Amino acid sequence: MAHLKLEKLPGWKDFPGPVVLVIMDGIGLGLADESDGLFVSHTPVLDGLFKEPTFVRLKAHGTAVGLPSDEDMGNSEVGHNALGAGRVFAQGAKLVNSAISSGGIFKSKAWEAIRGRAAAGTVHFIGLVSDGNVHSHIDQLYALLGRCACEGFKKVRVHGLLDGRDVGEKSALDYFEPLEKRLKELCGSGRDFRIASGGGRMVTTMDRYNADWGVVEKGWKAHVQGVGRAFPSAVEAIRTCYREDPKVTDQYMDSFVVVEGGRPVGTIQDGDAVVFFNFRGDRAIEISRAFEEKSFAAFDRGRVPDVFYAGMMEYDGDAKIPGNYLVEPPAIERTIGQYLCAEGVTSMAVSETQKFGHVTYFWNGNNSGYIDEKLEKYVEVPSDRIAFDLKPWMKGAEITDAVLESIAGGKRRFIRLNYPNGDMVGHTGIVPAVRIAVETVDLVLGRLGPSVEKAKGVLVVTADHGNADCMFTEKNGKRTPHVAHTLNPVPFIVKDSSAANRWRLASVAAPGLSNVAATLLNLLGFAAPRDYDPSLLELTS
């Protein structure tokens, strides 16, 4: 990394303490009404920070984070990419849409291999069935299915995961009814296209960060072995679950298997091809490992079919997971982490399991592992395996303890941390729990701030996207829980307790998350690389 050289920031003066970046995951700036979890919560610390002269609103969705349009909500993956990269890169949905539009996706080596398997075997598509555009988009699935029909694939199966998180909490029928209709339309001329299995995303297949491999195991049993509650169709499964338990939401719906004549219609067999059609990486890695790893110990897979497996994208560029994929990921290089390591700056990254990969893997441009283990320290606090609304404080105290210990030790110049509460609890849509989550973040900031001040350091507070800032929507007097991310801006505040430098807000036309990296470099005494988006701050004389 010797070629990564930063210039010193003219006029900057050194100070003894660290620069501490707090990412309040999922806490945006909402309508400041009863639906706004931040507004209705008791947050004296944040109220004070919002009065700082260096407070600014940042765009954290849409084109500002590399997504196709400003109608697309932000998410933690692209948010942390932008925070760590200092520039905007075309991201998952946009890359896939472009590859489909150009036809490049169907010229890839992976699609060629899938075509070969389709001659005698079944092609299986596993993924999230919605238009949330955070992990997947149903239009992309339709494009893949249409191509299968166009190329004469005879047998295709869809293993659909219910969303209820990036879209309405009980909206599954809005996607599965049209999908079943489309599959039926694609049948004929010897083609047999249908849904084979499914389940809610939080209990079937889509675990992340090794939090609960039982989720992946349940998906494996349904998709591969055909083990699960049997129904004649996916739509009938969903309707039955709604009827039997009116309180169940899509993301927690149990796995199911579609059967005909008492037999599953789509187990995965030797000679088949399997495509995981989600484009986002964090919840795609574990199921990919289950299909690809020969020495696999997370759970007993039983029969392991000999299949060609491909992801929509490469989900982990460093670990090369999966080995085959349809669309090349964005090439994110020269992240702030790489620059700081090249300059010998010590750092620390900490969060609990649910967001640990965001302050490491995503922050580092979709690369796992250390950049320079001699300079960096990554701390993962194990998350509890419990529904987030039942313990909305999560591991806020433990994350803070680790940071306070690091500040007291005085060995880390730059510390970044993520409090997951606003996002993970925000996804439940349960108002009391969301308020406790937000107030937890405020409470731990009340512990963190004085420590940074005592060390004569700099505290930076922001978020990666909105979520808790909209707990429900209301129409005709009826409230509907809002469990998805929002299009709201996020806060950005700098509280400099060093007394070494004086800062003011710079004139940035459309401030967004990608401006944060240059700002952090300035606070650490470096001029940002010329192709980084500009700093939000400037030194005053």
Catalytic residue annotation: 76
The three-state DSSP-derived secondary structure of 328-383 is CCCCCCCCHHHHHHHCCCCEEEEEEHHHHHHHHHHCCCCCCCCCCCCCEEEEEECC
Measured between alpha carbons, how far is residue 76 from residues 174, 193, 220, 252, 316 in Å? 25, 34, 26, 21, 16
Q: Which of 189, 164, 183 is nearest to 174 (CA)?
A: 164
CA dihedral sign, ordered 59, 64, 66, 72 = positive
Measured between alpha carbons, how far is residue 407 from residues 227, 371, 392, 421, 444 in Å? 51, 21, 26, 22, 15
Q: Which residues pair with 264 in a beta bridge?
A: 259
Give residue 141's identity as a one-letter amino acid code: L
Q: Tokens in use for 470?
A: 């909209």
Cα separation, 301 vs 406, whole angstroms: 41
3-state secondary structure of 101: helix
Cα separation, 484 vs 401, whole angstroms: 30
Q: Which of 178, 84, 176 is nearest to 366 (CA)?
A: 84
Contact 290, 302 (CB under 8 A): no
State the Rg of the chain over Cα: 24
Give residue 273's identity as a one-letter amino acid code: A
Q: Which of 190, 124, 200 is nearest to 158 (CA)?
A: 124
